[in-house]
Structure 1
Amino acid sequence: MKVQETQTRAKKGITRVIFSRIGIIAALLIVQILILVGSVYYLREFLPLIYGLIIVIEAFAIVHLINSPGNPAFKMTWVLLILVFPVVGVLFYLFTKMQPGTYRISNRLAVIHLETRKYLSQDTEAVGEMWENKPANTLLAHYLYKQVGYPTYKNTEVKYFPNGETKFEEMKIRLREAKKFIFLEYFIITEGLMWDTILDILKKKVAEGVEVRVLYDGMGTLTTLPWHYNRELEACGIKCHVVGKLTPFLSSIQNNRDHRKILVIDGKYGFTGGINLADEYINHINRFGYWKDTAAMFTGEAVNSFTTMFLEMWELTSGVEEKYDKYLLPRQKGWQRSSGYVIPYGDTPFDNENVGEEVYFHIINHAKKYVHIMTPYLILDNEMITTLTRASKSGIEVIIMMPHVPDKWYAYAVAKTYYKELITAGVQIYEFNPGFVHAKIFVSDDDTATVGTVNLDYRGLYLHFECGAFIYDHPEVLRIEDDFQDTLKRCHKVSLIEVDKRNVFRILVGKVLRLLAPLM
């Protein structure tokens, strides 16, 4: 009887998935892929001249790939797909590169960002002071402002949160204090204690006349929110847009997801970090053991950059021109007590600048004593491998903290393929025994750190909308390092013996998946 009940429940579960919006969209996408693949074989059998023309195009595509600018790893993966899957591979490549929607978003975002640069001016006094303190960081400040428009700030306080629980408590306090506006931009929102509590506060604030806007990613919330959840929020008086909403048509736009986590309150407080709005992030539920994550709150002038990032994404999604100066606070006259330097930065997949990776490179390359890293994923290109191993071989202590309980088995399998090369070069790898590390932090030499959303994988470094904040000479950097050391006590150090004892099948799977890592 129990067996029959189990089978019945399983059948109902399968039926529910098949006929859900996810199942229907997946089925339609599969049908389109099958049509594309089937058309190739139809051409080969019945229209050989056209098929031969596509083969010629394939050769040109490979030549174009090899000679085009960009990361060599992406080129290698595409060449591999084109050669292993003739015709089908080149059609997919042309499909992803020639979509008008992608070009339209890229051009629109470039115009928006150009228009907003006038609101984020560089403070030459702050940069000049940094030059006297640490010239190398002035070079980073110059890059972030000249290339992508993010200035350096002096009059900004920082509060670091070592877990989601402490950030959640601070969020509730600051949200309840809101008088003018609340902006939220998150990759994942899931109904539960955390989001329901925040939503109750937002509804009360709307009733008080506070302007509330919410952005969330269509892919990140695909399985966590109802299809038209934005309409539910709008019915409550909350303005809402979905970034990259999934459609039942083949498109590469969903490949560029809004992975940012930004909360701005009245232009006074700005939050970022790895923590999404879901119960696992505050350890209210257990998904992969203890969820280790981090975030930071910024108070002062640097919040203007986070406000601008949000409004740019809102304008891109809504298509309506924004009034930025309405939400930005004027710079303070004179200096407050010394509180270090903060440079919030955003990263997009459309500006030909790998901002998150450049910040990481800068921290590694200019470390004098140590670089300590927390990351949930480790899928590296050759440049990052070279940078990490060179620092370690130069006598810098390089420690990478990874989860022991992964959320994605395939990403974990690929990460393991880098362990031996890194450990052999002297890089120390630790795994967090109690569960999953979702934090994305770099901290160095007790004076430099970055907290943000950028994972050490191809998606985080190249394909997603991301954000973070570079922090220098601020007392809170020591708290970030203290948290790293406290967390390290609950980790175990991965040895070469442990790496060599891995299951042969898992090693093989990891190596095969690594070939496709840039597209994962």
Structure 2
Amino acid sequence: MTQNERIFLPWWKRVVIVIATVIVFALQIMLFVFAFQVNFDFPFNVWIYWIIEGGSFVLVYHIIHRPILTNYKLTWSILILIFPLPFSLLYYLNQRSLALPKYKQKKIDTILGNYYNPNQIDCTLELDRKDPKAAKLARILRSSTGYPLWKNTKYTFLFDGLLKHEDMLVELKKATRYIFIECFIISDGKLLSELLPILKEKGDAGVEIKIIYDDLGSKATLKKKTILEIAQIKNCTFTNYNPLGLNINPAFNYRDHRKMVIIDGKTAYCGGDNLADEYIHQKKRFGFWRDNCGKYEGEAVQSFIALFIEMWYISTKMVLKLENYLCDYVLERETSYILPFGDGPSNGAEPGYDIFRSLISSADQTLYISTPYLIIDEAMIESIVLAAKSGVDVRILMPGIPDKKVAWYLGRFHYKDILLAGGKIYEYTPGFNHAKNIIVDGRYAFIGTINMDYRSLFLHYECGALILLDNEIYKMKDDFLKACDDSKPITYEDWKKRPWWQKLISYLLYLFAPLF
């Protein structure tokens, strides 16, 4: 997708932004005149006011000419013009381009500069002969991330968080070299009480253990006592990504939302589940917690190692050499292709957004989307609508019991166009749907940590994998359809009958959707 496609502004939005700008400009002039009349004995106050207002217009001019989503332009322009000081500061703190200093990015490029698949060209050409559409998807993702397409990888779809937890504990007990864990949330509870004894045993045996957790994500869930307990495990290095502090740093708004476990370079797990009890159904916060995960064995694990090494350097400034963590594990798999990738401020691109839109646009027969949130821009909504209008069986699975009601109301705002186009939307009545999947035609799929919201697509560090021509995609499809059977189908009539206050909240928040 080109930048021109991203900055295209629909006619009605152009009208709205012009009208809003004129109104706000008129209000600003009136306030200026009023301030001048009231404070004519204090010209210093007037000049301060004028400098602030003038600066806000310069900033808005800069925003309008940036190659960013139109929704961002509209939201930030209006907020900055109305409330210059607070929202100018918030805009500064929300800038992806400021999230990673150039020297750090250069260091990461140096660390991973030699990372590539020697058979990359042959692998892609081979896939091109089998399925040109699959090869095209791989090239799109490869071009924005640099991560290679792999064969010789066994992918296993783990349809439940408890299943993944039990499988992971078995694999952790086999570790002989190292264990890497990266997680948004680590929480005290039953899950951690089962995990820590294994880590202690492996640490005592000389296994290298490295753990990254997000400081904000785990702030309220991980006791200081537990942090000290983990830090005392032999051969274990335990660090928090981007700790919260009093300093004003643009990077504080960019969180590590990735969830990965890597064992000996042979096995990797990546999915929506954190290390917390709700994911193994020990805590009923929002009914049944639906989540899933991908397990990878073979060549593609190398990409997850590279992603972990990147975040380890960002978090600790310590360099890990990729070659020290690779293994000679050989697995012959000729029928499927896997492309793990990462997204985040250090990319300089939006690979998650790109591959989501590409998958949606590539659907010929079926398009199944599972997401906890549906706070996306009009370009992606239009891609879904066009797929439905073309006769594709479009189904979207949303939570029936939300964890964030405001985000849920905002997500429901987008139902209308999809439903009118013939798409089907289901709300998972047993509880909270936290799984993040896109399944296309039973042949191509995404599984990982990326939600369909602005923060996941444009702000946070995320990870996942593009799965191509793998038989496990049929299991993903069956699991999705089973979840739909357990859910409430939402009709256009249902959508229209929402309580008036929900409608009001949705309309009021729509303008501020990029902030969610």
Question: What TM bracket, shorter-length normalisation?
Answer: 0.7 to 0.9
Tell me the residue number matched to 2:55.
57
Tell me the residue number matched to 1:192.
189
Indicate the larger mover: 367-376 or 347-356: 347-356
Tell me the residue number matched to 1:209.
206
CA distance in 2, matches of 1:90, 1:478: 48
Q: Which amino acid aligns with 2:488?
A: H
The within-5 A match list for 1:293-372 is 293-330=291-328, 332=330, 336-372=332-368
Tell me the residue number matched to 2:180.
183
CA distance in 2, matches of 1:94, 1:174: 44
* Aligned residues with identical type, % of pairs: 35
CA distance in 2, matches of 1:378, 1:95: 24
Q: 1:78 aligns to what SS in structure 2?
A: helix
Q: Which amino acid aligns with 1:76?
A: L
CA distance in 2, matches of 1:363, 1:491: 24
Residue of structure 2 aligned with 1:80, choices 73, 78, 81:
78
CA distance in 1, matches of 2:218, 2:302: 27
Change (3 A) 1:403 1:142: same
The within-5 A match list for 1:205-244 is 205-227=202-224, 230-237=227-234, 238-244=236-242
Tell me the residue number matched to 1:172.
169
Tell me the residue number matched to 2:264.
266
CA distance in 2, matches of 1:82, 1:510: 21
Q: Is the 8 A contact 1:113 1:312 kept in 2?
A: no
CA distance in 2, matches of 1:135, 1:98: 33
Q: Is the 8 A contact 2:151 2:333 kept in 1?
A: no
Tell me the residue number matched to 1:8.
none
CA distance in 2, matches of 1:192, 1:275: 15
Residue of structure 1 aligned with 2:287, choices 286, 289, 296:
289
The within-5 A match list for 1:92-491 is 92-94=90-92, 96-97=94-95, 102-104=99-101, 107-121=103-117, 123=119, 124-227=121-224, 230-237=227-234, 238-330=236-328, 332=330, 336-491=332-487
Q: Per-residue displacement from partner, 1:473-492 (whole Å, max 9, x unpaired)?
A: 11111111111111111011
Tell me the residue number matched to 2:13.
none
Q: What is the deviation of 1:145?
A: 2.8
Q: 1:117 aligns to what SS in structure 2?
A: coil
CA distance in 2, matches of 1:192, 1:413: 31
CA distance in 2, matches of 1:337, 1:404: 39
Q: What is the deviation of 1:386?
A: 1.0
Q: Which amino acid aligns with 2:153?
A: T
Q: What is the deviation of 1:98?
A: 11
CA distance in 2, matches of 1:470, 1:99: 26
Q: 1:280 aligns to what SS in structure 2?
A: helix
Q: 1:267 aligns to what SS in structure 2?
A: coil
Q: Is the 8 A contact 1:156 1:339 kept in 2?
A: no
Q: Which amino acid aligns with 2:383?
A: T
Q: What is the deviation of 1:95?
A: 5.6
Q: What is the deviation of 1:137?
A: 2.2
CA distance in 1, matches of 2:410, 2:172: 40
CA distance in 2, matches of 1:452, 1:99: 24
Change (3 A) 1:122 1:509: farther
CA distance in 1, matches of 2:359, 2:210: 34
Q: Which runs of 5+ in 2 are unaligned?
A: 1-34
CA distance in 2, matches of 1:514, 1:494: 20
Q: Which amino acid aligns with 2:484?
A: L
Q: What is the deviation of 1:506?
A: 1.4
Q: 2:356 aligns to what SS in structure 1?
A: helix
Q: Is the 8 A contact 1:230 1:241 kept in 2?
A: no
CA distance in 2, matches of 1:472, 1:98: 30
CA distance in 2, matches of 1:329, 1:348: 27
CA distance in 2, matches of 1:162, 1:93: 39
Q: Which amino acid aligns with 2:174?
A: E
Q: What is the deviation of 1:88?
A: 3.6
CA distance in 2, matches of 1:344, 1:397: 27
Q: Which runs of 5+ in 1 are unaligned?
A: 1-40
CA distance in 2, matches of 1:358, 1:306: 20
Q: What is the deviation of 1:461?
A: 0.6
Q: 2:374 aligns to what SS in structure 1?
A: coil
CA distance in 1, matches of 2:151, 2:244: 41
Q: Is the 8 A contact 1:361 1:384 kept in 2?
A: yes
Q: What is the deviation of 1:62?
A: 1.0
CA distance in 2, matches of 1:496, 1:298: 40
CA distance in 1, matches of 2:477, 2:421: 23
Q: What is the deviation of 1:229?
A: 5.3
Query: Given the two structures, how large is their TM-score scaled by the length of structure 2?
Result: 0.88
Q: What is the deviation of 1:349?
A: 2.3
Q: What is the deviation of 1:321?
A: 1.8
Q: Which amino acid aligns with 1:283?
A: H
Q: What is the deviation of 1:519?
A: 1.1
Q: Which amino acid aligns with 1:189?
A: I
CA distance in 2, matches of 1:226, 1:247: 18
Q: Per-residue displacement from partner, 1:312-362 (whole Å, max 9, x unpaired)?
A: 100111112221100023585xx8242400000110123231111112112
Change (3 A) 1:54 1:339: same
Q: Is the 8 A contact 2:93 2:253 kept in 1?
A: no
Q: What is the deviation of 1:96?
A: 4.9
Q: Per-residue displacement from partner, 1:365-393 (whole Å, max 9, x unpaired)?
A: 11110010110000010111111111111
Indicate the larger mover: 141-150 or 159-168: 141-150
Q: What is the deviation of 1:109?
A: 3.0
Residue of structure 2 aligned with 1:498, choices 494, 499, 504:
494
CA distance in 1, matches of 2:404, 2:93: 27
Q: Which amino acid aligns with 1:161?
A: L
Q: Is the 8 A contact 2:309 2:319 kept in 1?
A: no
Q: Which amino acid aligns with 1:173?
A: V
Q: What is the deviation of 1:453?
A: 0.3
Q: Per-residue displacement from partner, 1:64-98 (whole Å, max 9, x unpaired)?
A: 11011111111111112112214443344346559
CA distance in 2, matches of 1:474, 1:58: 52
Residue of structure 2 aligned with 1:67, choices 62, 65, 68:
65
